[in-house]
Amino acid sequence: MRCNKCQDQLYEYFDGTLTPSRRQTVQEHLAQCPACHAVFEQERQFSKSMTGLFEQQTRNLHIAPQISQNVMARLKELPQENQISEIRRHFSLIPIFNRPPRELIKIAAAITILLAGFYMGNVVWQQREDESRARLEKETDWRYILVSSRTCYFLNRPELQLMQ
């Protein structure tokens, strides 16, 4: 094992998240490489010192006793947001709404694309329908004589008499 590979895995070695075989490889390298062993010892010492100093720095810090009342007062001051939360709670009963916002945006985008597809399809279909109707009207001679408001004769098809 190379030194840089060993040092790259030191944090995982400390965490105990390496696989048993990798752990053993690192362990063996540390036993025979003084440079890596020094880095390991330095990190171990650093970790110990930092934990101790943080503990010492913060042990006298305690949460303010009135924080609970303050939080409740703040929540009461935000009726609109509470209402939103209430609405969210109701919506969360429907599985699709009980998802993170990023996923909801993806779902909304998919639905929008689908609807846009349907709309465009409909427009194209309508256009083709109009075109074929126009072609049919052009091909067919629809000249007629209006006899009365209820009857008309088609000049090229005298057998046809259209009555409303």
Partner 1 sequence: MVADKKPPWELMNDPDIIVALKQGKVSAIDEIIRIYGDRLLRSACLLSGNQTDAQDLVQDTLVQVMQSIQSFRGESLLYTWMHGILLNLIRRRLRQQSRLEYNNDLPDQMEAPPPMETERLDLEKASSAMRKALQALSPPHREIIVLRYFEAMKIEEIARHLRISMGTAKSRLHYATQCLRNLMPENLNLFRS
| Interaction site with partner 1 (CB under 8 A) | 8, 11-12, 14-17, 38, 41-47, 49-51, 53-54, 56-58, 60-64, 67-68, 70-72, 74-75, 78, 81-82, 85, 88-89, 92, 98, 100
In the complex, the smallest distance separating the C-beta of residue 111 from partner 1, rounded to whole angstroms, is 21
Q: How far is CA 40 from the centre of its chain?
A: 42
Q: Which is nearer to partner 1, 72 or 110 (CB)?
A: 72
Q: Which is nearer to partner 1, 72 or 155 (CB)?
A: 72
In the complex, the smallest distance separating the C-beta of residue 46 from partner 1, rounded to whole angstroms, is 5
Q: Which is nearer to partner 1, 11 or 119 (CB)?
A: 11
- Would you call 160 helix, strand, or coil by DSSP? coil
Contacts of 15 (CB under 8 A, 6+ apart): none
Other CB atoms closer than 10 Å to residue 26's CB: what's the count? 22
Q: What are the Cα distances from residue 35, in Å, to 4, 43, 130?
A: 11, 13, 83
In the complex, the smallest distance separating the C-beta of residue 74 from partner 1, rounded to whole angstroms, is 5
Q: Which is nearer to partner 1, 88 or 128 (CB)?
A: 88
What are the two backbone dihedrals, phi and then psi, of residue 151, each rounded to the nearest 5 degrees?
A: -130, 140
In the complex, the smallest distance separating the C-beta of residue 103 from partner 1, rounded to whole angstroms, is 11
**How far, in Å, CA of 14 to CA of 39, rounded?**
12
**How far, in Å, CA of 81 to CA of 125, rounded?**
46
In the complex, the smallest distance separating the C-beta of residue 42 from partner 1, rounded to whole angstroms, is 5
Q: Which is nearer to partner 1, 104 or 134 (CB)?
A: 104
